[in-house]
Amino acid sequence: MISVEQLRYVRLGTPDLERAVAFARRIVGLELVGQDDDQAWFRSDYRDHTLVFVAGDPADQTLGIEVRDPASLESARADLEAAGLVVMAGDEAGRRARKVKDYISFISPGGLRIDLVLRPLHSGWRYFPTRDAGITGFHGVAIRSTDIKGDERLWTAVLSGLVSDWVGEAAYIRTDDRHHRISLHPSTTGGLLEVQFEIEGLDQLMQNAYWLRAAQWKLLHGPGRQPASGQIFLTFQGVDDMAFSYVAEGDRFAPDQPQRLPRQFAHARSSFCSWSSECAMIEYAAEGEPT
Amino acid sequence: MINLRDVSYCRLGTRDLEGAIVFTTEILGLEIAERHKKAVYFRSDARTHTLCYFEGDPADQAVAFEVAAAADLDQAGAELERLGHSVRRGTAQECELRKVRDMVAFRDPTGNPIELVVRPEYSGRRYFAPRDAGITGFSHVGLCTTDPRRDEQFWTRVCNARVSDRIGDAPLLRIDEVHHTIALFPTDRAGIQHINHQVESADDIQRSYRFLRERQVDIVFGPGRHPTSSAKFLYFQGPDGMVFEYSSGVRSIADELLYRERQFPFEPKGFCQWGAKPKIAEFRS
C-alpha cells in the first residue's frame, strides 16, 4: 500500500504558454515563480510550486503526489507493478523540471499520468499572489476516468485513499482529514477535469464570482455548495478545456473519530450543487435534466 | 422619547390582491394567516401577522412599531402633537384589523405613515412556510426620506433609534441589538423603500437566488454582502414596485457604550463587499 503524503502539483501541457501564463496570473491569481522557454511554475502556498504549464500537447496532464522516503518509492514501484501498471523511472531532466530528488511515473487505469515524487521543493518565501483572490493553497483535483472501477481500486487499494461518498459512479476520495482531495468521474477520455485551489471563505468565493463575471470570464459551475462534502465552490474555464475551481469550507474527518460509511448520492444535478447553480459540465449533470 | 421596541408589521395597499397573494406565498414564501375579502394577512414568524395586503391604493402603506404600553401611546401622542405632527388614536375597528390592543397613527417628517401599537398578537401555532425559503422572520424596513438629516434627528431624538452606520447620508438605525431595524434612504417621495425578512443561512440566500431567477423574478441587487451589517443579502421586486429583501447574518451590537457608527461611501462598494451592483433607484447616486 502506498501512503500519499500530499498532493504536490499539476503539470498541464499547453500549445500557447504565454496565454496560459497570463491566465494563471491574471485570472486565477497565482504567483509566477519561474519560467523558461518550455514551462512556467506557479506557487499557491508553502510549496515551491503547485501548477506548471508546459509547452506542448494539452492532453499531456500529470498529477504529482509526494511519498515519504526512498523506501516508500521503491515499495510503491513494486505495488504498482503488482497491480499491473507500467512504471517509468524518472530521469535527470524530469527531476529538474519537477524540482524533486527522485520520482517514478505511471498512467492510471483511467488514463491519468501520475508522478510519485520524493523531496519536492518547499518554499522558504511565502506565497505572494498576483491578485487578491484569497487563495490559501492547492486543494485537489477532479479526475476524468475511462475506467472508474479501476481508478477507484488504484486510489483505495494501492494509494491508500478512502471513499468518502459516491455520486452515481463518481467517487470522492480522501487522503487526509478533508472530505476529499480527489474526485473520480466517469468520462470518455482520461485526464484532469478540474484543478482546485482553496480560498479563505464565502466572501472570497462570491467576490471572485463577481470579479470573473465582470471580466467576462466563463463560469462553468457555481457559485455553489457540494452536498456530499459541504464544500462551497466556483468552477471556471481555464485554458485548453481544463476547468479551474476555487473551493472553501467543507467537512473534515477527524482522524480519532470513528469513520462513517461512504454515502451513495444519486447521479443528479442536485447531488452536485445544493444551491442549484448553473452547470456547464456534463460530468456533473445527469442526462435528460434541463441545463 | 418614544420607545420603539420592535417593528411589527407592514400594511400595503394593492389593486391586485390575487397577484399579491401569489407573489407573497409562492415567491416570497410567507404563510397565509387569514384571508378576507379585501385583505390578506401573512405570517413570517411567531407573530399572528407581519404583513398585510389590502385592496386599495398602492401608495397607501404603513409600518407599525410596537411600544410597551398604552401609557406610552398617550405620551407619544402628546410629544408628536407638540412637534406639530397630526396624531390619530386608532378606533376599536382599526385595532381589530391590525390585531393589536391599542394604536396611534401619525406621519414621520417625510410623510411615511407610522403606527405605534400595543400588544400585537402572537400565534400559538408556529409559522409554517409554503416554500422552503428558510425565513426566520420579518426584521426591518427601509423608509424613504426627503431629508435624511431631519429624519435621522426625528428617529434618534424623538424616538429611541441609534445610528449604527451611514452609507453616504443614509442612516441605518437600530432600536435594539440588531444592527438596523429602520434604514432611511434619500429620495423624493414618501413610502416604504424595502421590506426585509431574515433567512437561516447564506445557503438560503443562494438557493433563493436560483429559485427566483428560474421564475423570472426581477432580482434588483445581490446575492451580496453588506459591509455595514455584515449580512448576506438578496433584493428582488414584488408587486407594485415594492422591493423585498432576504438577508442572513446581520450583526448584533451588544455594547452600546463602545460601539461607534461608521461612514461608508454611497456607491456600490458601500452597499456590497462582494461586488454586486444595485439596480435599486434609492441605492444609486
Nearest chain B residue to A212 by CA: give it: B275
Are the beta carbons of B224 and A206 separated by less than 8 Å? yes
Is there a contact between A214 and B206 if contact means CB atoms under 8 Å apart?
Answer: no
Distance from the Cα of B133 to chain A's closest Cα (Å) equals 12
B121 closest CA partner among B143, B97, B137, B156: B97
Partners of B207 on chain A (C-beta within 8 Å) are: 274-276
The predicted pLDDT at position A102 comes to 97
Task: Concatenate the DSSP letters of all residues of chain B into one string.
Answer: -B---EEEEEEEEES-HHHHHHIIIIII-PEEEEE-SSEEEEESSSBS-SEEEEES-TT-EEEEEEES-HHHHHHHHHHHHHTT---EEPPHHHHHHHT-SEEEEEE-TT--EEEEEESPPBPSSPP--SS---EEEEEEEEEEES-HHHHHHIIIIIB--EEEEEETTEEEEESSSBS-SEEEEE-SS-SEEEEEEEES-HHHHHHHHHHHHHTT--EEEEEEE-TTT--EEEEEE-GGG-EEEEEE---B---TTT---EEE-SSHHHH-SS------GGG--
> Chain A contacts of B209, Cβ < 8 Å?
275
What residues in B contact A225, CB-CB < 8 Å? Answer: 203, 206
Shortest distance, CA B231 to any CA of chain A (angstroms)? 11
Answer whether B180's CB lies under 8 Å from B193's CB: no
Q: Do A276 and B274 touch (CB under 8 A)?
A: no
Separation in Å, CA of A274 to nearest CA in chain B = 8
- Touching check for A274 and chain B: CB below 8 Å? yes
B274:A274 CB<8 A: no
Domains and CATH numbers, chain B: 6-118 (3.10.180.10), 135-283 (3.10.180.10)
Please answer yes or no on whether A275 and B275 come within 8 Å at the CB atom: no
Cα angle A21, A22, A23 (rounded to 5 degrees) comes to 90
Write out pLDDT tens, residues A89-123. 999 999 999 999 999 999 999 999 999 999 999 99
Q: What percent of chain A has pLDDT over 70?
A: 98
The whole-angstrom separation of Cα A279 and Cα A167 is 16
- The letter for the amino acid at B77 is G
Instruction: Tell me the three cell numbers of residue B42.
Output: 401573512
Confidence of residue A43 (pLDDT cuts 50, 70, 90): very high
The pTM (predicted TM-score) of the whole model is 0.88
From the list B202, B210, B275, the residue facing A211 with the nearest CB is B275
What is the arithmetic mean of pLDDT over A76-83?
96
Q: What was the ipTM of the complex prediction?
A: 0.78
Cα–Cα distance between A202 and A123 in angstroms, integer?
28
Does A275 contact B210 at a Cβ distance shorter than 8 Å? Answer: yes
CB A64 within 8 A of CB A5: no
One-letter amino acid identity for A73? Answer: L
Per-residue pLDDT tens for B194-244? 999 999 999 999 999 999 999 999 999 999 999 999 999 999 999 999 999
Q: Is the pLDDT assigned to residue A258 strictly greater than 90? A: no
Q: Residue A286: is its pLDDT beyond 80?
A: no
Label residue A174 by pLDDT band (50, 70, 90): very high
CB B113 within 8 A of CB B98: no
Q: What is the average pLDDT value for chain A, to the nearest integer?
A: 95
- Best probe of the B interface among A213, A275, A289, by most B CBs < 10 A, is A275
What number of C-beta contacts closer than 8 Å exist between A and B? 35
Three-class DSSP category at A238: coil
Residue A218 near residue A278 (C-beta atoms within 8 A): no
Contacts of B199 in chain A (CB under 8 A): none
C-beta of residue A120 within 8 angstroms of C-beta of residue A26: no
Confidence check: pLDDT of A201 > 50: yes
- A227 CA: distance to closest CA in chain B (Å): 11
**What band does A179 get if pLDDT is binned at 50, 70 and 90?**
very high
Structural domains of chain A, ranges and CATH numbers in brackets: 6-118 (3.10.180.10), 135-284 (3.10.180.10)
Average pLDDT over residues A266-275: 93
Question: According to the model, what pLDDT value does residue A254 have?
Answer: 86
CB contact, 8 Å: A238 with chain B? no
**What is the tens place of the pLDDT at every residue in B128-154?**
999 999 999 999 999 999 999 999 999
| Nearest Cα residue in chain A from B204 | A275
Interface of A with B in 53-82 (CB under 8 A): none
CA distances from B15 to A74, B38, B52 (A): 80, 10, 13
Is residue A267 classed exposed, middle or buried when 0-12, 13-18 and 19+ CB atoms within 10 A define those classes? middle
The reported pLDDT for the residue numbered B239 is 97
Looking at residues A209-228, what average pLDDT do you find? 96
Using H for helix, E for strand and C for coil, what is the string for A190-203? CEEEEEEEEECCHH
CB–CB contact B274 A207 (8 Å)? yes
Contacts of B224 in chain A (CB under 8 A): 206
CB contact under 8 A, B274 and A224: no
Banded pLDDT at A11 (limits 50, 70, 90): very high
User: What is the rounded average pLDDT of the residues A261-270?
Assistant: 93
B-chain CB neighbours of A275 within 8 Å are: 203, 206-207, 209-210
Q: Do A274 and B223 touch (CB under 8 A)?
A: no
Cβ atoms of B212 and B236 closer than 8 Å: yes
What span, in angstroms and rounded, lies between the C-alpha atoms of B241 and B105? Answer: 24
* Cβ separation B275–A274 shorter than 8 A: no
CA-angle at A78, arms to A73 and A81, nearest 5°: 120
* Cα separation, B62 vs B41, whole angstroms: 14
Residues B157, B155: Cα–Cα separation, whole Å: 6
B274–A214 CB contact, under 8 Å:
no
Which residues in chain B come in under a pLDDT of 70?
A: none
Q: Does A207 contact B at CB distance below 8 Å? A: yes
Read off the pLDDT band of A291 (50, 70, 90): very low
